[in-house]
C-alpha cells in the first residue's frame, strides 16, 4: 500500500536535532584512509595555502552542518 502524499513509513519522523551520521562517518573514513597523505601535503604547503585549506574545509563543514540543521528542522 503506497503512502499518501506527505507521509512516510516513519510517522514520528526524524527527531529534531539528530545528526546526519552518514556524512560524519564518510568524512571520518576519508580522513582516516588518507591521514598520511594529508599530513605530508600540509607539511609541504605554505602558511597561506594551509590557511586557504582550513577556510575551504570550514566552509564545507558549515554547509554540511547547515544542511543537517535544515533536515532536522532547526
CB of 2 closer than 8 Å to CB of 59:
no
| Distance between CA atoms of residues 19 and 71, nearest Å | 9
In sign, the C-alpha dihedral spanning 37, 39, 41, 43 is negative
| Distance between CA atoms of residues 60 and 45, nearest Å | 20
Q: What's the grid cell of residue 35?
A: 591521514
pLDDT band at 8 (very low <50, low <70, confident <90, very high): low
Measuring CA to CA, which residue among 28, 38, 12, 37 is closest to residue 64?
A: 28
Note the pLDDT tens digit of each residue in 24-55: 788 788 888 988 988 888 889 999 998 898 88
What is the pTM assigned to this prediction?
A: 0.43
Determine the length of the chain.
74
Amino acid at each position: 500500500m503506497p503512502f499518501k502524499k506527505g507521509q512516510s513509513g516513519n510517522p514520528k519522523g526524524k527527531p529534531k536535532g539528530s545528526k546526519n551520521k552518514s556524512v560524519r562517518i564518510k568524512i571520518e573514513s576519508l580522513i582516516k584512509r588518507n591521514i598520511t597523505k594529508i599530513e605530508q601535503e600540509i607539511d609541504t604547503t605554505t602558511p597561506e595555502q594551509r590557511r586557504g585549506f582550513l577556510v575551504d574545509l570550514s566552509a564545507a563543514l558549515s554547509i554540511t552542518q547547515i544542511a543537517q540543521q535544515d533536515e532536522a528542522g532547526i
